[in-house]
């Protein structure tokens, strides 16, 4: 050591050529080969400068571009960029995919070209001036692709660390830095660019650029490409490391032995190749002791290596199958756990939940964990894989039993922010599914009593069971009950389902409504821009500002409306109350309402208090107080019923009865949603017996006015239906599948609310009739309802017999998805879609016949509302009804399979509705506590015990005195009447006779009103009665008053049971309809 030994000296051990070259002068050994190819000469150009450029891009350029990109996301440049290149999550929805496909094809070809060129230069060791210039031009293409991919990723700084981005940066930057006369210029890392070819190929498949190539050919191509990439990268890396040799800090100092030149690093290398059974054979032990030791080392090492590799494989398999423990992706994020039968698949409700909880409009995405009793279903895996990358990293699936404490600990359930129990809408036995979910909820509540829990059930009756079992009413809800009530209100309030969906489903930040509006305007659909502007709001809460404490709620609304904010409810004693007229706002009280996106509430809120914490605290305190009050009531009841001691025999019987009543009172009363044994509600203050008797007498008097007929048989329901069809001016409710009579009960109760001043007659078309007990239970409380039983699915003939020509509204109710008689779940909405097309086709046919006959009147298609099980079914429907083709300029009414459900014209008009938005409701309850309670207050029918609201949704025509005013003046005028304006329902093509409309929620105060605008409000019953008397309530003109006695069947049918023909020429509600629809054979 310290003495230089010449290469030819026999005392020097044999070494590699690269090491000899480094220890010799480059001029003495291969000057053209190793002239400047050293770590000392290339580190600056190949590693240091690209690293500095990467730092500048990550910490300076990317943040600035991201801010500008998000701030000007509606500018023309950004809109057109997204239209051509899309985003990483919308590759399949790019408007002009040929541009993006061209970029990917060029990137793939250039990547392969650079790899082939690198291989060639590794032999010739020379680069001409022309070749270097050509390389720089091609590198500009790579940098252009780098910028395009950064735009597709919204300039997130994480993209700079993507492997393909790093390869592009570290291979392109040195091309512009190295001098042209550098003899070592042939050496580079450009062979790594071949990895970009695989990435470009995968993107090309995702955008649909290879859809015309068979799957077998694509499989062969990607397999060969990946093999080529692996071989080239590994070979090129070994070649480069051998050519560069070891840097000064890594030069090994071997010791010469009979085994050869050995060192610790070389022995680690040799042992690893030995126990892994590779065995290159370049080393072998020579001494006796080392040979004896290596025998034991091989036996132990091979066994250890094999077992440890197997352990790693098992661990990976266990983790991938969901049997491991949960680890947070982001420790600063909250944890949300989803369990229940809905985890077994990927229903539309679950997909809506995933889209909403990871919506880019929200901040603070949680860590999401699923737990099911089986391995992760394929449908759920596909749904998770379709999420953005940031969402996939935060989502995990575990297999286990959520009722076992050990599995709860694996998920760290005690630290979760929210536990959601989702039901399976496709379960064959609904009651069994609800019972299982109730048991899961009770197990979670018993293990973690203070955990935030949400229980989703199907049947409304099972919700009562859950509450009686110990689940707080604010923690469970029935999805079928909400769906039925929401669907019913969509009949009387046009666009109501659309407005509610806008409240629940957030709009993605990267969505481009401006581009859609520009394209729609070019096709004659200028209404699209107004419709998307109506989505520019959020439903949120806030703590009332200090300066507004002591002010009445309506006065506070007036002040808020000046800033474009519309409060709709407040939390009183822990309960959401709509439009509490006369209520005086208290300190730290939470108000819920509509707020324009991105707008500050300024002095309207108390920013020092977190409204979410206050809301949950008030709700918890109210539940505890309610429980204590119920317990006190139970104690008083038991004490009042304590038996008086008499004889010994009777005393034993009375004591037994007392103990039974005592146990019932103390266990059931704290959680019962209905009246307790004393006739008092736990949610209300105790009333005296006299007040309770007065209230009961008033209810009986009101019921006696409205209910004069109670059906007792199927025949009477059919006779009533024939009577309603003969009179006209009614609604037709069609049950497309199953026997959902519990849901129908909620639907009919919603349309027969106690607050309604009118009752529009209803005819129900169904294939299965309820039993005698259900007939009395359902129809004794819903007057003016008849039922027609049909064979199989309802047809046009059945609709004509039910008086379709003179009806007000036709409701196509999908029913239960599990009871639909289809094998392919994708066709579950086929019956409703085809029936709707047949109705519109018949209308077009009869309109043409009427026009040919010179009829003076014009046929008006009734308002049609249809429920869909799957959002994807909308692609089978025309964008507009068939008769609206002339108003949509012939191009806007046709099918459009790329249009999203929430942008479809039928959804904008409220003509289609899906319960999948209720999955977003559960997700919104994580970001906005109280969303479930708010929706229940808005849609559920009034119940004297569980749902007590003094204000309800109404839709009224614009009074003529306000036709030339602004929306702000309309809000002020209606506030004087105690009504809160929620939005407008406007015509898509005003002045043309078109009936297609759209919803605008919470418009700007400066919005000019149109004479044909309909106003959606939340107001008390007095407001509805006043506007009904003035003839301004939508869908109620000529409808029977709620106090008007229902005519007996004998008077209408003449004492016979023969059905009455439904072909009439006019009706009080639609006097302009003077053309009869004949039942032609083609129509049938």
615's tokens: 């809301």
Q: The domain 329-498 is classified under which CATH number: 3.40.50.150, 3.30.1300.10, 2.40.50.140, 3.40.50.720?
A: 3.40.50.720
Task: Give the pLDDT band (50/70/90) at residue 999.
Answer: very high
Highest mean pLDDT of the ranges 104-118, 178-192, 384-398: 104-118
In sequence order, what are the residues at sequence separation of 6 or more whose Cβ sits closer than 8 angstroms to the Cβ of residue 739?
766, 768, 770, 815, 819
Looking at residue 439, what is its pLDDT?
A: 93
1066's tokens: 């006019």
> What CA–CA distance (Å, rounded) separates 48 from 46?
6
> What CA–CA distance (Å, rounded) separates 270 from 282?
8
- The torsion of the CA quartet 532, 537, 539, 540, rounded to 10 degrees, works out to 160
Q: Which of 110-114, 252-256, 659-663 has the lowest average pLDDT? A: 659-663
Task: Give the pLDDT band (50/70/90) at residue 10.
Answer: very low
Are 368 and 422 within 8 A, CB to CB?
no
925's tokens: 């309850």
* Average pLDDT score over residue span 191-218: 86
Q: Which residues pair with 1017 in a beta bridge?
A: 954, 981
Task: Give the pLDDT band (50/70/90) at residue 557.
Answer: very high
Neighbours of 769 (CB within 10 A): 18
Percent of the chain with pLDDT over 90: 25
995's tokens: 């009936």
Q: How many CA atoms lie within 13 A of 934 on its CB side?
A: 28
Task: Give the pLDDT band (50/70/90) at residue 227.
Answer: very high
Question: 204 φ, ψ to 5°?
Answer: -65, -35
887 vs 589, residue with greater confidence: 589
CATH fold of 537-686, please? Alpha-Beta Plaits (3.30.70)
- Examine the pLDDT at 401 and tell me if it is beyond 60: yes
CATH fold of 950-1032, please? Alpha-Beta Plaits (3.30.70)
Distance of CA 792 to the CA centre of its chain: 34
Task: Give the pLDDT band (50/70/90) at residue 166.
Answer: very high
- Examine the pLDDT at 291 and tell me if it is beyond 70: yes
> What CA–CA distance (Å, rounded) separates 1067 from 128?
91
What is the overall mean pLDDT for the chain? 79
Looking at residue 1081, what is its pLDDT?
A: 32
In sequence order, what are the residues at sequence separation of 6 or more whose Cβ sits closer than 8 angstroms to the Cβ of residue 832?
736, 812, 814, 866, 867, 868
Q: Maximum distance among all alpha carbons in the chain?
A: 129
- Examine the pLDDT at 1052 and tell me if it is beyond 60: no
Q: Which of 14-28, 56-70, 315-329 has the lowest average pLDDT? A: 14-28
Looking at residue 682, what is its pLDDT?
A: 38
- Examine the pLDDT at 1017 and tell me if it is beyond 90: yes
Highest mean pLDDT of the ranges 43-47, 108-112, 698-702, 831-835: 108-112
Looking at residue 83, what is its pLDDT?
A: 78
In this prediction the pTM is 0.75
362's tokens: 């929200």
pLDDT tens-digit map of 620-678: 888 777 666 655 655 554 455 555 444 444 445 444 444 444 444 334 433 444 433 33
- Examine the pLDDT at 27 and tell me if it is beyond 70: no
**Strands, E, within 901-950: which ranges?**
912-914
Task: Give the pLDDT band (50/70/90) at residue 64.
Answer: very high
Q: Quick one: which H or E segment has residue 742?
A: helix 741-751
> What CA–CA distance (Å, rounded) separates 614 from 486?
29
Are 557 and 570 within 8 A, CB to CB?
no
CATH number for the domain formed by residue range(s) 257-320: 1.10.287.70
**Can you tell me which residue has the tokens 């005698």?**
772
Residues spanned by CATH 1.10.287.70 within the chain?
A: 257-320
Least Cα distance to 632 among 675, 682, 585 occurs for 682
- Examine the pLDDT at 891 and tell me if it is beyond 90: no
- Examine the pLDDT at 745 and tell me if it is beyond 70: yes
Are 865 and 913 within 8 A, CB to CB?
yes
Give 207-239 as a DSSP string. Answer: TTTTTTS-HHHHHHHHHHHHHHHHHHHHHHHHH
pLDDT tens-digit map of 343-365: 887 778 888 899 899 988 888 88
Looking at residue 1050, what is its pLDDT?
A: 57
> What CA–CA distance (Å, rounded) separates 273 from 275?
6
> What CA–CA distance (Å, rounded) separates 381 from 362?
23
Looking at residue 2, what is its pLDDT?
A: 40
* Average pLDDT score over residue span 29-36: 55
> What CA–CA distance (Å, rounded) separates 93 from 82?
10
> What CA–CA distance (Å, rounded) separates 194 from 214?
24
Phi/psi class of residue 243: alpha, beta or left (left: φ > 0; alpha: ψ in -120 to 50)? alpha
> What CA–CA distance (Å, rounded) separates 184 from 38?
9
Percent of the chain with pLDDT over 70: 79
């Amino acid at each position: 050591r310290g003495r230089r030994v010449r290469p030819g000296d026999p005392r020097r051990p044999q070494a590699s050529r690269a090491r000899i070259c480094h220890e010799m002068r480059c001029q003495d050994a291969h000057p053209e080969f190793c002239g400047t190819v050293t770590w000392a000469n290339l580190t600056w150009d190949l590693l240091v400068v690209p690293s500095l450029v990467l730092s500048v891009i990550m910490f300076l350029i990317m943040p600035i571009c991201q801010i500008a990109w998000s701030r000007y996301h509606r500018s023309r440049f950004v809109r057109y960029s997204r239209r051509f290149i899309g985003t990483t999550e919308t590759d399949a929805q790019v408007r002009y995919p040929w541009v993006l496909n061209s970029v990917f094809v060029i990137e793939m070809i250039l990547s392969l070209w650079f790899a082939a060129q690198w291989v060639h230069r590794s032999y010739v060791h020379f680069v001409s001036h022309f070749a270097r210039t050509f390389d720089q031009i091609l590198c500009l293409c790579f940098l252009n692709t780098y910028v395009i991919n950064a735009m597709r990723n919204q300039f997130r700084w994480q993209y700079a660390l993507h492997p393909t981005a790093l390869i592009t940066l570290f291979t392109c930057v040195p091309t512009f830095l190295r001098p042209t006369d550098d003899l070592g210029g042939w050496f580079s890392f450009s062979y790594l660019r071949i990895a970009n070819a695989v990435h470009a190929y995968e993107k090309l498949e995702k955008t649909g650029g290879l859809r015309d190539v068979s799957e077998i050919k694509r499989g062969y191509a990607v397999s060969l490409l990946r093999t080529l990439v692996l071989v080239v990268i590994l070979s090129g890396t070994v070649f480069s490391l051998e050519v560069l040799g070891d840097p000064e800090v890594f030069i090994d100092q071997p010791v010469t032995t009979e085994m050869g030149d050995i060192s610790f690093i070389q022995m680690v290398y040799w042992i690893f190749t030995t126990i892994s059974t590779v065995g290159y054979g370049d080393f072998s032990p020579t001494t006796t002791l080392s040979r004896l030791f290596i025998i034991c080392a091989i036996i132990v090492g091979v066994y250890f290596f094999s077992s440890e590799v197997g352990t790693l494989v098992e661990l990976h398999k266990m983790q991938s199958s969901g049997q491991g423990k949960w680890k947070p992706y982001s420790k600063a994020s909250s944890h949300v756990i989803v369990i229940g039968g809905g985890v077994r698949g990927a229903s539309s409700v679950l997909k809506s939940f995933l889209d909403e909880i990871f919506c880019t409009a929200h901040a603070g995405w949680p860590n999401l964990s699923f737990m099911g009793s089986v391995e992760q279903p394929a449908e759920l895996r596909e749904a998770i894989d379709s999420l953005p990358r940031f969402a996939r990293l935060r989502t995990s699936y575990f297999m286990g039993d959520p009722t076992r404490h050990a599995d709860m600990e694996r998920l760290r359930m005690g630290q979760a922010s929210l536990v959601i129990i989702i039901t399976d809408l496709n379960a064959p036995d609904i009651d069994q599914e609800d019972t299982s979910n109730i048991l899961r909820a009770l197990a979670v509540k018993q293990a973690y009593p203070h955990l935030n829990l949400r229980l989703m059930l199907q049947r409304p009756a099972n919700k009562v069971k859950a509450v009686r079992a110990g689940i707080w009413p604010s923690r469970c809800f029935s999805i079928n009950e909400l769906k039925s009530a929401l669907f019913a209100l969509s009949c009387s309030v046009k666009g109501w389902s659309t407005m509610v969906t806008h409240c629940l489903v957030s709009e993605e930040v990267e969505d481009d409504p401006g581009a859609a509006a520009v394209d729609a305007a070019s096709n004659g659909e200028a209404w699209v821009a107004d419709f998307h502007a109506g989505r520019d709001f959020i439903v949120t809460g806030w703590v009332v500002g200090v300066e507004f404490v002591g002010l009445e709620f309506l006065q506070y609304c007036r002040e808020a409306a000046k800033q474009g904010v519309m409060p709709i409810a407040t939390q009183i004693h822990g309960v959401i109350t709509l439009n509490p007229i006369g209520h005086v706002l208290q300190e730290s009280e939470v108000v819920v309402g509509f707020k324009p996106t991105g707008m500050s509430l300024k002095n309207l809120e108390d920013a020092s208090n977190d409204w979410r914490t206050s809301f949950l605290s008030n709700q918890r305190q109210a539940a505890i107080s309610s429980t204590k009050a119920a317990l006190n009531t139970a104690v008083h009841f038991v004490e009042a019923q304590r038996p008086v001691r008499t004889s010994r025999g009777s005393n034993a019987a009375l004591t037994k009865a007392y103990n039974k009543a005592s146990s019932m009172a103390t266990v059931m009363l704290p959680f019962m949603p209905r009246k307790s044994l004393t006739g008092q509600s736990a949610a209300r203050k105790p009333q005296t017996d006299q007040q309770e008797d007065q209230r009961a007498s008033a209810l009986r008097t009101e019921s006696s006015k409205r209910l004069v007929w109670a059906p007792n048989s199927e025949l009477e329901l059919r006779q009533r239906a024939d009577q309603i069809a003969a009179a006209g001016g009614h609604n037709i409710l069609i049950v497309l599948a199953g026997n959902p009579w519990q849901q129908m009960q909620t639907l009919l109760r919603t349309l027969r609310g106690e607050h309604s001043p009118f009752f529009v007659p209803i005819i129900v078309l169904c294939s299965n009739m309820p039993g005698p007990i259900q007939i009395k239970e359902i129809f004794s409380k819903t007057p003016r309802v008849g039922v027609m039983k049909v064979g199989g699915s309802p047809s046009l003939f059945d609709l004509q017999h039910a008086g379709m020509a003179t009806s007000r509204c036709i409701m196509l109710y999908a029913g239960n998805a599990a009871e639909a008689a289809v094998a392919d779940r994708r066709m579950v909405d086929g019956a409703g879609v085809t029936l709707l097309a047949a109705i519109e086709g018949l209308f077009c046919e009869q309109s043409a016949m009427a026009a040919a006959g010179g009829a003076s009147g014009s046929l008006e298609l009734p308002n049609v509302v249809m429920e869909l099980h799957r959002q994807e079914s909308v692609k089978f429907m025309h964008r507009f009804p068939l008769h609206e083709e002339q108003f949509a300029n012939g191009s806007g009414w046709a099918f459009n399979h790329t249009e999203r459900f929430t942008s479809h014209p039928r959804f904008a008009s409220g003509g289609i509705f899906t319960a999948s938005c209720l999955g977003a409701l559960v997700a919104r309850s994580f970001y906005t506590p109280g969303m479930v309670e708010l929706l229940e207050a808005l849609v559920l029918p009034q119940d004297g015990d569980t749902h007590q609201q003094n204000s309800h949704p109404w839709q009224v025509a614009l009074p003529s005195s306000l036709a030339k005013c602004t929306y702000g003046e309309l809000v002020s005028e209606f506030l004087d009447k105690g009504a809160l304006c929620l939005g407008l329902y406007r015509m898509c093509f005003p002045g043309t006779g078109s009936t297609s409309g759209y919803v605008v929620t919470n418009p700007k105060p400066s919005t000019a009103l149109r004479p044909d605008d309909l106003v959606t409000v939340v107001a008390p019953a007095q407001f509805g009665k006043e506007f009904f008397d003035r003839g301004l309530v939508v869908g109620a003109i000529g409808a029977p008053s709620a106090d008007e006695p229902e005519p007996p069947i004998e008077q209408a049918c003449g004492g016979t049971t023969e059905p009455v023909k439904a072909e009439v020429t006019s009706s009080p509600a639609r006097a302009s309809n003077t053309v009869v629809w004949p039942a032609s054979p083609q129509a049938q």
